[in-house]
Amino acid sequence: MVDESRLVRLFETLVRIYSPSRKEQVIADYIKGYIEALGFLAYEDEAGTGDVLSSGNVIVTIPGTAEGPCILFVSHLDTVEPAKDVEPVIENGVIRSKGDTVLGADDKAGVAVMLELASILASKSVLHGPVHLIFTVAEEVGLEGAKALDLSDKKIDYTYVLDASGKVGTIVISAPYQDSFEIEFKGRAAHAGMAPEMGISAIVAASKAIGCMKLGRIDDETTANVGVIEGGKAGNIVPDKARVVAEARSLDVNKLEAQAQHMMECCKAAAKEIGAKVDIKRYRPYDGYLHTGDDPVVKNVMDKMLAVGITPRLEKSGGGSDTNVFNSKGISAVNLGVGYDHVHTTDEYMPISEMVKLANLLVELVKVK
Ligand SMILES: [Zn+2]
C-alpha cells in the first residue's frame, strides 16, 4: 500500500523545488501535474498575488468509491528561508539538508504524504469516501492562503491539517488567539545638552510603558512579549520617536482581551505622564481554537490512530497554523504531528519511518470498510 521508496523519492523532489512564501508557482504546477497524471482533478484558486511566481492554493477533489465521511487534508507549499538549492541527505533513516539550508519538511513532508495518499487511491486498492486535498500558499507569512480559501461549496466532515512538529500521534487540539501591536510613541526633539527641558523623550515614554507591562508567561493559557524596540537618532538628541512591536496570545479570548487592554493602558498612562503621544495599532492575525478529546474531529483520528498502532497524544500549541483559520471559518479542524523537528532551522530533519506512519494513518482515515 504505502510505497516507501516512492514516498521518499517524491519528498526529495519536493524539497529540491524552491518555494518560499509567495513564490509557490513552480511547486503548485508540479502538484497539479502529479494529481492530473493520477486521473484526478486539481485546480488553483485566486489566492495568488498576481506575480508570475505566486500561485493560488491548489485544491484537489477525489470522489468517493463508497459511502463514507468526507475528509479534508491540508498542508502548505511554502517554506521559510534559507531554502535555495536544498540538497537532501539520508542517514540512518533520517532525511536532513546538507546543513546550509532548511530541509523544508515543514511542510513538504505533509505535501508528500498527501500525494502518496492520492497515488494509493488512484490504484483503487481501497474503498474510500470523498477526499479533498488542499495545498495552501503563504502560510509562513500570515496564513494568507488559508484565509483566502472559499470552502462554501464543500461539505466536509473532518479536517486534518498536517503541519505540526512532534511525532506522528500528536494531535494539536488547541492553539491561541493572537493580538499584535504596532506602537509609536511621539515626543519632542531637543538638544540634550543645551535644552533638555524643551524635549519630550519618546524613549522614556516607551520604557515606562514596557516597565509597567506584565510580560512573559501570564498564566497557563496566556503569554505576552515586546519583541522590537527602536528609536532615537543620536546621544545628544532627545528622541521624538520610539517604535515598539509587541504581541499577546491566549487560548481564552477573554484573557487575551484583558492582557491587550492592560498593555495598551500602560502605553497611554506612560505617554500621558510625560506629555508624549502614543499611537497604537492593534490587529488579530488569527483566532484561536480549542477542542476536547470528545469532539468528533478529535475522536475520529484517535480511533484511527489506535487502529494502526499509533498512540494518540493530545497537545496544546503556543502558535498559529492554517488550523486556526479553518476553525475560525467554522470548519472543525485539528493539526497533526508530521514527525519532523527543528523546523525553521538548518538542523531540520525528517525521519522516513514517521512519514510512512503518517501515510498509513491517512489511508486509515479515508478507508471505508
Ligand atoms: Zn508549517
Q: Same domain, yes or no, for 168 and 247? A: no
Region 158-165 average pLDDT = 97
Residues 257, 235: Cα–Cα separation, whole Å: 38
pLDDT digits (tens, 9 = 90+) for 107-137: 999 999 999 999 999 999 999 999 999 999 9
Q: Which domain holds residue 156?
A: 4-175+288-366
pLDDT digits (tens, 9 = 90+) for 325-357: 999 999 999 999 999 999 999 999 999 999 999
Give SS3 for 313: strand
Among 286, 321, 351, give the residue marking a domain's end.
286
- pLDDT > 90? residue 286: yes
- pLDDT > 90? residue 50: no
- 347 counts as catalytic: no
pTM: 0.90
Q: β-pairing, 170-175 with 313-316? A: parallel
- pLDDT > 90? residue 319: no
Region 261-268 average pLDDT = 98
Q: Same domain, yes or no, for 134 and 9? A: yes
Q: Same domain, yes or no, for 63 and 76? A: yes
What's the CATH code of the domain at 151?
3.40.630.10
Catalytic option among 44, 78, 179, 348: 78
pLDDT digits (tens, 9 = 90+) for 222-246: 999 999 999 999 999 999 999 999 9
Q: Same domain, yes or no, for 143 and 275? A: no
- pLDDT > 90? residue 174: yes
Region 304-312 average pLDDT = 97
Which percentage of the chain shows pLDDT scores above 70?
100
Q: Same domain, yes or no, for 277 and 300? A: no
Q: How many domains does the chain have?
A: 2
Query: CA-based diameter of the chain, in Å?
Result: 85
Region 307-330 average pLDDT = 94
Higher confidence at residue 318 or residue 99? 99
Catalytic option among 24, 44, 106, 139: 139
Q: Same domain, yes or no, for 23 and 120? A: yes
Cross-sheet strand order for the sheet of 277-286 = 216-219, 222-231, 241-250, 177-186, 277-286
Neighbours of ion ligand 1 (CB under 5 A): 106-107, 163
Q: Same domain, yes or no, for 79 and 138? A: yes
Q: Same domain, yes or no, for 213 and 355? A: no
- 139 counts as catalytic: yes
